[in-house]
Amino acid sequence: MAIEKIEMPKLGESVTEGTIEKWLVKPGDTVNKYDPLAEVNTDKVTAEIPSSFAGVIKEITVQEGETVEVGVVVCTIETEGGAEGNAEQVSQPAAVPAKEEPANEMPAAGSQKPASPLKRGAGAARFSPAVMRMAQENNIDLSLVEGSGKEGRITRKDLQAIIDSGEIPTAAAQKVEPVAEVVQAAPSQEARPVNKPAAPEAIPTAAGDIEIPITGVRRAIATNMLRSKHEAPHAWTMIEVDVTNLVQYRDSLKNDFKQKEGFNLTYFAFFVKAVSQALKEFPMMNSMWAGDKIIQKKDINISIAVATEDALFVPVIKHADEKTIKGIGREINELASKVRSGKLKSDEMQGGTFTVNNTGSFGSIQSMGIINYPQAAILQVESIVKRPVVMNGGMIAVRDMVNLCLSLDHRVLDGL
C-alpha cells in the first residue's frame, strides 16, 4: 500500500489558484485512474480534476468553497502498486503538503513576516492564502471567526457570509498589522500602506426577497469584468453597415447547407471570418497591454461569447484567419454545444487574442461590450434589421443594416 497525493492542477496559462466547487468523491470511495474527483473553478474555466491513480480516497484536505494555489495537495489516495504501478500518472506541479505549511504565517513579498502572527480559530488546520488575503482585504480578525470546514478550518464561504452580513469581527485590543497591507519599498523609501477595497455594503432584505448564492463561475466573471473596467480605459465607437448582399447570399445557401453539413450557416460565421481578415490588415487590434510593453500577437485566435442560463463562457477559435466560413461555422456550432453540455475543456478557452460577441442573437441593436482582459478590443455584432436608407442619387430603399459596436483599450489603440 502507498499513499499518493492529488494536487491542484494548472488549468491555464496564467492560472495560479483554483477553488474546489464540488467534491464528486468522499473518503472510502474507490476510484479508477482518470476518474473525475472534483469540480474546480478558476478565473479562466470550470473543469474537473482527474485522478492520477487507481485506489481508495484516503483523505480530502481542501474543502468545498476553499481556494488554494496550484500545486497544493487537495486529497490523498491509497493505492496498492505505489509509484511503480503508476508510471503513467498525470503530471502535476510539485507542492508543499498542507501539513508542512506554516500554520499562522503568510509570507509577504520578499521574506518579511508579520511582527506577530494572527491567531487561529479553535481547531483550524491552517489558513489558505485565499482566506488570508480575503481577511486582510476586509479587515477581518480570523481569531474571532468560527470555521465550518474540516476540523474547524476557516473557508472562503465563512468569510463571505460574514462580509455579506455586514458585521465584520475586528480585534478590540491588540491589532495585528497584516503584512500584505504594506508595500515592500526600496531601501531609500518608506513603506506605504495599500488602499484596501471597502467592505460591501449590507443590503437590507424584505419579505419575498430572494437571496441567490454566488457561484465560483459567477465570482470569476465578476472579478474579470471588474478588473477590465478598472485597468483598461475603455473607448467605444459604432458604425452602421449595409449587409443586404450578405443576407441575400446567405439566404440562397442556408437550406442546402443545413441539409449537406448538418448545422446552420449563421451570419455570425461571416462576421468572424471578416474580423479575422481585418486583424491581418490592422495587427495592432490583435494586441495586448503588458505593463511596460504592448504585445502584438502573431496568431489570430477569435474568442466568442457563449451564454448559458447562469454564466458566460468564452471559447476560442484558433487560427481563424486560416479557416473557411464553413470551417468557422462548424467550430462555432461545436464550441457552443460543448459549453451548453458542460463538456468544454480548459484549453478550448485559452489563447484568445480578440473577442467577437453575437449580441444580435438577443435582439440587441446597440451595446457597449466590456473588453475580455487582457485583449485590446471586443466587437459586438448587433441584430440585422431592415431600415430605409438614402442611396446614391437620393433614392430611398429598404436595406438590411447592422450596427457593429467596438470597445477598445485606449492604452493600446487610439481613436484612429
- So where are the chain's domains? 2-100, 218-409
Across the chain, what does the average pLDDT equal?
Answer: 79
Please name the residues in contact with 331: beta carbons below 8 A apart, sequence gap of 6 or more. 317, 323
Mean pLDDT of 361-374: 91
pLDDT at 34: 84
pTM for this prediction: 0.57
Q: Residue 101 in contact with residue 85, Cβ under 8 Å?
A: no
Helices first, then strands: H and E counts in the chain: 6, 18
For residue 391, pLDDT beyond 50: yes
DSSP three-state, residue 158: helix
| Amino acid at site 148 | S
Q: Going edge to edge, which strands form the sheet with 55-60?
A: 2-7, 73-79, 55-60, 30-31
Architecture of domain 2-100: Beta Barrel (2.40)
* 213-265 pLDDT, tens digit each: 877 777 877 888 888 888 899 999 999 999 999 999 999 999 999 999 999 99
* DSSP element (H, E) containing 39: strand 36-41
> H/E/C letters for each residue in 71-132?
CCEEEEEEECCHHHHHCCCCCCCCCCCHHHCCCCCCCCCCCCCCCCCCCCCCCCCCCCHHHH
Q: What is the rounded CA–CA span in Å between residue 301 and residue 335?
A: 14
**Local confidence band at 119 (pLDDT 50, 70, 90 cut-offs):** very low
Q: Could you tell me which residue, 192 or 42, shows the higher pLDDT?
A: 42
For the ranges 93-97, 168-172, 276-280, the lowest mean pLDDT is seen at 93-97
Euclidean distance between the first and the last CA atom of the chain, given in angstroms as a whole number:
67
Instruction: Sort 301 into a burial class: Cβ within 10 Å, 0-12 / 13-18 / 19+.
Output: buried
* 35 in active site: no
Which residue did the predictor score with more confidence, 207 or 123? 207
Given 209, 292, 310, 414, which residue is catalytic?
414
Q: Is the pLDDT of residue 118 over 60?
A: no
Tell me the residue length of the chain: 416
What the block records as the C-alpha cell of 193 is 500602506
Residue 217 · residue 18 · CB < 8 Å: no
Q: What DSSP assignment string belongs to 175-215?
A: PP--GGGB----TTS---BPPPPPPPPPPP--TT----PPP
Q: Which residue has the cell 502573431?
A: 298
CA 60 to chain CA mean position, Å: 25
pLDDT at 125: 41
269 vs 37: CA distance, rounded Å: 37
Q: What share of the chain in percent tops pLDDT 70?
A: 77
Check whether 51 has a pLDDT greater than 80. yes
Query: 3-class secondary structure for 231-244?
Result: HCCEEEEEEEEECH
Q: Which CATH architecture has domain 218-409?
A: 2-Layer Sandwich (3.30)
Closest CA to 303 of 265, 341, 340, 275: 275
Judged on CB neighbours under 10 Å (0-12, 13-18, 19+), 269 is buried
Give, in order, the Cα–Cα distances in Å from 318 to each of 213, 279, 312, 352: 35, 14, 19, 8
On the question of pLDDT at 21 being above 70, the answer is: yes
- Among this protein's residues, is 410 annotated catalytic? yes
Instruction: Measure the CA–CA gap between 53 and 76, rounded to whole angstroms.
Output: 10
